[in-house]
Structure formats: structure tokens, C-alpha cells
Chain A
Amino acid sequence: MSARSHARVDRLFTASLTGFVLVYLLLIVAMIAADSTYTTPAALGAALASPEIRHAFFLSFATSTVTALLSVLFAIPIGYALSRHHFRGKALVDGVLDIPIVLPPMVIGLSLLILFQTAPGRAVERVVPFTYAVPGVILAQFAVACAFAVRTMRVTFDAIDPRCERVAWTLGCSRGRAFWYVVLPEAGRGVLSAGMLAWARALGEFGPVLVFAGTTRMRTEVLPSTIFLELSIGDLDAAVAVSLILVTAAVAVLVVARAFGLRGASL
């Protein structure tokens, strides 16, 4: 192949890469722009003034925050164990932890519903009611969001040189203290990244929440359920207004993540 045709093929390759990037970028921007231009500030204000939507707004943000905290609490030790320890059946454990990521959301909700119909589930339910209740919203969000937090923490701990802990052991640290004083501070950005990702996933979770916790107005309705409910009664303005709230929250998460320089596994 001559040098000139080489250059032509290279240009064609670069142009095709640019084309794919632009098409997908355009689709994302067009979707957000369509939402933004469809509604008016007045319609947005009216939607936010609705007591039902305000309740859903506060419930969504409160449950997502609790879910994010719980997810990080579980993801840190699970991610660390998977990153540092080798044990029989590790591949199986690793695979099982990915199930919530690949499972259809409705199936997760249905599985939770069935789990709480079993004898142990009913026993738990007698102490804390989950089905069609607010704790159920959190559990349904947690079941999915935690898996993403675990992946992020695993990648974070993989990137931290294990020799740092080993040096800390030689300086008198127990394994726990080495983790606390050396590993965890180095994983700070990963923890933040995992928390934000879990929060964003929880905020957008619809299927599992709908099936397991229901979507009762002023009780278990969260913002994604509001979009579903408003669409089902034909109020497109309210549905779009709520969608914009979720888009704003998602963009805010991305902006904060980029501001903190988080470019881990998922953000």
C-alpha cells in the first residue's frame, strides 16, 4: 500500500470513530434538549407544587441517600476481600455479586417479593415491614445499587499497591489498622465514586421498587414511579417535569464526580 493510500485509510478510520462518537453524543443531547424544551418553567413549578410529587421527591432523595450509605458500607469490605484475598470459590462469589447488574430489574423486585413470602422473610416482616413500605423501597434500591458500588470498590482496591499494607504490617500495624490507616485513606476517591454511583442508581431505580414496594401515592412513590403514574393518567407535562428533576440530579452527580477527578470504574 502506498503512503498516500495509507494516509487515506487512516483518515477514514479517524472519521468513522468521530462519526460514532457524534451520533451517540447527539442522541443523548437531543433527548435532554427535547425534555427541556417540551416543558416550561411554569409547568415545572406546578409539578413541584404538587404535594404528591414533593413527597416523591423527598422520599426519592432520602431513600437514595440511605441506600448509597448502606451500599458503601457493604461495598468497602466486600471489594477489599475480593481484591486482596484468594479463596476457593472466589470466581463463583464474584459471579454471584454481578447478578444484580445483569438481572432484569423487574426480576429483582419479584425475587424480593417472593423472598419475603417465605417463612424467614415473614419473620423479618413481623419486625420491620418491607413489602409495600418505605424500608422496601430502600431494600429494592440497595439490591441493585450495592452491586455497582462493590465493582467500583473492587477496582479501587485493585489499584492500591498491596505492598503499602505489607510495609505497614512491618511497622507494627495489625491487618485491620493497616486497612484503616493506609488503605482506606488511599481509597477515598473510590469511596466517593462508589457512593455517588450507588446514589444515582438508587435514584433512578424503578422496576424493583414498583414490584416490591409498590407505588402508593404519599407512601412509597418515588420519582421514577411518578413518571410512570403521570404518564398512565396522560399528564405528560408533569412526567416531563419530573424527568427533568432526575436529569438535573444525574448531571449534578457527573459534575461533582468530574470536579473530584473521579474517573474510576463507573464514573
Chain B
Amino acid sequence: MMGPRIQARGLTLRAGDFRLAGIDFEIDAGEYVVLMGRTGSGKTCLLEALCGLLPLEGGSIAIDGRDVTDASPGERGIGYVPQDGALFHSMTVAENLGFALFVQGRAAAERTARAGELAALLGIESLLERRPQHLSGGERQRVALGRALAAEPRVLCLDEPLSAVDEEARDALCTLLADVRERTGVSVLHVTHSRVEAERLGDRVLQLESGSL
């Protein structure tokens, strides 16, 4: 029998004024989990620790049974979408989408093909030659999602991906996120304040309060 996709055990970390201690959770393959909590409760820190961007004081993280606690961020198989996308402004949308493959040393033709596939999946084919400065909030989030999906991660960590977009774009992105999960089988950990998002997208909700889940 297959184990969980992500298995976090006793995660302890300190960031700024607060400390998260003894965080345990599991996420199954293809499961969509929403992480909620008050502002400053440490949701983003937990997400970053999972991605290897914040050091842990204790605990362990395993992905598909492989211990990645000490692995570098690029070796974990986790795609990260920060709030408002943090796109690379010196690159076009196509270059953003192909960046992961560029880092892996793949050929330009392969990168272009993958960027095209992702653009089709995310409905942004017409934006490939644009720069991020000329995109709307919703379009930026689609590109950020595509850039994270390019390396075919097993887990997607989304940090309030819908907070900086208008109502209409939010609705479209919700549908898109559900569709992406369905088509790629990726496991998702989605941080949000919104109960509506949680109810619409999440298979399960984790609540972070006073430094623990």
C-alpha cells in the first residue's frame, strides 16, 4: 500500500517573534489540503519550511517516503507559488514557464514545447511573449502556477494565490486549480484566509493556531 505523499513529523521552527512546534500532518497523493489561520500565525513560514526555504529546528519531512528534511529546495519535488506570483520580470512569460527546464539544462526546443503545453493547460497561450509587468493579477498567478508545474512537482505549495486578484479572476482561478489537480494528480497545500476558497477547493482543512495545527 502506498504511503502519504507528504509526511511531516514534529516540525519545529522559529521565525521572527513566533515559534511553531510539534507540527504533524500528512497529505495524500492528489489530495487538496487548505491551510488556514490568522494573519501572523505562521502559515507562510510552515509552507516555506516545507519547501526548504526556512530552516527547521526539529522534525522531519518525507515526500513519497523519501526523507527530504535536509534536501535543498530544488531536490524536494515541491513547486512553490508565493503570494502575487513573484514572477521573473526580466523574462517573458514563455521564459518564466521554461525556467525550470532551463535550470535542468534542457534544450531550447524542449523548453518551448513545455511552455506551450503549460500555456494551453492554463489558458495563457496569447501571453507567451509578454513580460510580467504587462499582466493582470489573475494572469500573473496563472504564469506563476505554470512555472511551478513545469518541473512536474509532486506537491504544490500555494501561498494565498487568490488574494491579489478580483472576484471574476478568483472564480476562474478556483476552477483552474481544481482542474490542474485533476489533470496532473499533484498534491496541493493551499494557504488562504478565505473560507469560500477552502470549501470550494479543499478536500480537507488544516487550522494553524497558537503555533500548532
Contact = CB atoms under 8 A, between A and B. Distances in A.
A170 B89 contact: no
A265 interface: no
Interface of A: 161, 163-164, 166-174, 177, 181-182, 185-186, 188
A180 to B, nearest CB: 11
Contacts of B73: 166, 169-170
B52 interface: yes
Contact of A169 (B53, B90, B91, B151): B53
Interface in B155-212: none
Given A167-B148, A170-B74, 6 more contacts: A168-B99, A169-B72, A169-B74, A170-B52, A170-B73, A177-B103
B6 to A, nearest CB: 15
B74 A164 contact: no
Given A172-B103, A172-B104, A186-B90, A166 B147 contact: no
* Chain B interface residue number, banded: 20 to 34
A207 to B, nearest CB: 39
B78 interface: yes
B92 to A, nearest CB: 12
21 contacts: A163-B82, A163-B86, A164-B88, A164-B89, A167-B82, A170-B51, A170-B53, A170-B76, A170-B79, A170-B80, A170-B148, A171-B99, A171-B100, A171-B103, A172-B100, A172-B151, A174-B72, A177-B103, A181-B103, A182-B90, A186-B89
Contacts, number: 68
Contacts of B104: 172
A174 B89 CA distance: 19
Nearest to A184: B90
Interface of B: 48, 51-53, 72-76, 78-80, 82, 86-91, 99-100, 102-104, 144, 147-148, 150-151
Contacts of B99: 168, 171, 181
Nearest to A185: B90
Given A170-B80, A172-B100, A172-B151, A186 B88 contact: yes
A163 to B, nearest CB: 4
Contacts of A171: 74, 99-100, 103, 147-148, 150-151
Contacts of B75: 172
Interface centre among B78, B90, B144, B148 (most CB of A within 10 A): B90
A173 B103 contact: yes
